Structure 1
Amino acid sequence: MLRLAAALVLAGCTAPAALAQEVRESFGPADAPVRLSIRSTTDIAAFGPVIRAFLQRRPGLAVDYEQWGSNDLFDLSQTDCRGGGRAADAVISSGVQQMVKLVNDACAAPYRSTFTAALPDAQRWRDELWGISREPAVIVYNRTLVPPAEVPRTRFDLLDLLRPQATRYAGRVATYDIESSGLGYLFAFADAQEATTFGALMEALGRTGAVATCCSAEIIAGVAEGRYLLAYNVLGSYARAAAQADGRIGIVLPNDYTLVLSRALMIPRGAAHPGEAAEFLDFLLSPPGREALSQVLLVSPLTGKESGEDGAALSETALRPISLTPALIVALDRQARAAFIELWRKSFPAE
């Protein structure tokens, strides 16, 4: 049964009736002549150090940062694009399918530099959208409550844990609710395209009463506290940050395949300061910017043991980057989305 968690905290997403900004923070001098406006789904606790590193190289500039849930940020950006609001100077989202749609709807300004041109094709589209991070979708588990022999290394292992009629994992596996989380929808849709196990996994999660909720922080905290034994398809950057602070949290990059997300940055067509936004983008793609992103775990090595995950190091062939291409727009097609959510509801019937 679908259980929506009561606590919507920190880096998670909210699902109110009206658009709701989660956090706002300003960086740099209060009297700066130029204030760069950034709207993002990234937790300010993670992204704040990156902004400070940028401003150290750009004296006289200030940044006003707004944290949003992915669905609300998409709706607001669409409104701004239609002339119904004041556009931000830069928009950054983990809901990359929504960002591709915004670019396709002519909401983005073009930009090209040495740094953007050096990106792989999978991380840029039409010189209007760029991938700035490298984050896996992982399985999180409670080290104390899940025996080493039961830690799932693949989706097949997870299915084996859920198969017994009296499995102790019933009601104690969590994942994102794809209706309230744009990121959760993206990961589930990518799984459906990638894995032969998707249908069986959805059936098993639904049959065993898996918990669907919107928020990375709530899911990870639930695993640490033992309310959940496992969580599936959790964004690895948040999981790694939590694991560094809490030894109860274990992380696995599935070795059948691991989805890899690059958060997407767009400079809106109506940005008041596109030049400064382009400077910020170039910083994020430069060596100092990559180092700043790595320090806050938004760029993961993935294939080396230094990545901090459990088990053998992942091979490059197991990585499945989610490419910034028009193919992602299929995920937002009204009929395709309705059909996909209907499949989800059959697996997770509402109480």
Structure 2
Amino acid sequence: MTRLVQVFALLLWVAAPGSAQEAVARFGNGATPFLIRSTTDIEIIRPVIERFAGQRADLTINYEQWGSNALFARSRSDCRGQGTPADAILSSAVQQMVWLVNAACAASYRSAATLALPQTRRWRDELWGITTEPAVIAYNKAAFAGREVPRSRFALLDVLRADPERFRAKIATYDIAASGLGYLFAFSDSLEATTFGALLESFARIEAVATCCSAEIIAGVAEGRYLVAYNVLGSYVASAGRPEVGMVLPEDYTLVLSRAFMIPQNAVQEATATAFLDFLITAEAQELLRQIGLVASMEFGETSLTPSARRTIALSPSLLVALDGNRRAQLYDAWQDALGFDTGR
């Protein structure tokens, strides 16, 4: 019975409607409203939105920043006709976006620009990958002065085993119950890494911390509350402006994410959404995204990534496995045992 209650609680984050956005911003003063809902922090993506708004004096762009799970729930509700839909959605929790496309919640669009994207960054002419962002190991530079920085999962395990007290409650990663992106990275690790089980055991032994948000994790590393952050998005480290924080691309393999863009099938301003999509793919917009860290080269941080170590998270139906109830419950159980979060929230 306890097991059934746990599984039911785990499903609630998918079924419950999103309560509210985290922040909002407005760009332009045109007569036509254009609504973007996104998991990307407003202050990070602001230059890109401002550039598009500068090209479209006819628009007032309303940008809503959401947590990934809340955005997913809200988008599902909108797809069922139970709310006001966005005109465009951009999310780092790409497995949730694939689910929405598979549930016939997306409009179709094709252009020369979208067709030029790599196959891993487009699916069914309904979902497109806009960014290139690796998951990195971030660390407090002062704490590792004169010490070897772990540059792979194997090296991280060695460091944790050699001096567990030094790292007790000093390792941070995303809370997979609160973060759709964190869940995606953990799921991808579980498929890829021979080190996954060993990492969870080490995290349990040293009382690693699971938290919701990139900004909180990076601030904690900069301030020394955490010595290492595991699987945090490198784009947020790069854009945080915290010189106290170093980062490396794990040499055994590095997950590479492209934030997924979708046009809801009931979007009011569908034509503007397609124009925005084409803009995001232009060389101009990609350069802006590079400047703010959302398009990264694979010579990033203090290490370079060999092609064989790159693990691109492709936009494809295979991501639906991540949302399978049984697989999700298994991963949550393992993660709860290691990090001790409440799976019912």
Q: TM-score, normalised by structure 2?
A: 0.92
Distance in 2 between the 1:138 and 1:349 partners? 23
Distance in 1 between the 2:288 and 2:273 partners? 17
Structure 1 residue ranges, 4+ long, deviating more than 6 angstroms after superposition: none
The aligned counterpart of 1:328 is 319
The aligned counterpart of 1:282 is 278
Distance in 2 between the 1:343 and 1:337 partners? 10
Q: State the shift of 1:18 in Å.
A: 5.9
Q: 2:164–2:206: 8 Å Cα contact kept in structure 1?
A: no
Q: 1:50–1:289: 8 Å Cα contact kept in structure 2?
A: yes
The aligned counterpart of 1:348 is 339
The aligned counterpart of 2:45 is 47
Q: State the shift of 1:146 in Å.
A: 1.4
Q: 1:70–1:94: 8 Å Cα contact kept in structure 2?
A: yes
Q: 1:161–1:167: 8 Å Cα contact kept in structure 2?
A: no
Q: State the shift of 1:167 in Å.
A: 3.7
Residues 285, 166 of structure 1: alpha-carbon distance in 2 compared, 3 angstrom cutoff: closer
Q: Say whether residues 1:21 and 2:21 are aligned partners.
A: yes
Q: State the shift of 1:137 in Å.
A: 0.3
Q: 2:253–2:311: 8 Å Cα contact kept in structure 1?
A: yes
After superposition, give the CA deviation of every residue in 1:212-243 in whole Å (9 maximum; x if it has no partner).
1111111100001001111100011111112x
Residues 76, 231 of structure 1: alpha-carbon distance in 2 compared, 3 angstrom cutoff: same
The one-letter amino acid paired with 1:334 is G
Q: 1:258–1:319: 8 Å Cα contact kept in structure 2?
A: yes
Q: State the shift of 1:62 in Å.
A: 2.1
Q: State the shift of 1:165 in Å.
A: 6.2
The aligned counterpart of 2:242 is 246
Distance in 2 between the 1:118 and 1:232 partners? 33
Q: Say whether residues 1:101 and 2:99 are aligned partners.
A: yes
Percent of pairs with identical residues: 55
Q: State the shift of 1:17 in Å.
A: 9.3
Distance in 2 between the 1:100 and 1:172 partners? 34
Number of residue pairs the alignment of both structures matches: 327
Distance in 1 between the 2:20 and 2:129 partners? 25
Compute the RMSD of aligned alpha carbons.
Answer: 1.5
Q: 2:28–2:54: 8 Å Cα contact kept in structure 1?
A: no
SS of the equivalent of 1:109 reads coil
After superposition, give the CA deviation of every residue in 1:137-177 in whole Å (9 maximum; x if it has no partner).
00110111113533110000000011136441121110011
The aligned counterpart of 1:337 is 328
Q: State the shift of 1:54 in Å.
A: 1.1
The aligned counterpart of 1:310 is 302
* Structure 1: gaps spanning 5 or more residues: 1-15
SS of the equivalent of 1:227 reads coil
Residues 278, 150 of structure 1: alpha-carbon distance in 2 compared, 3 angstrom cutoff: same
SS of the equivalent of 1:145 reads helix
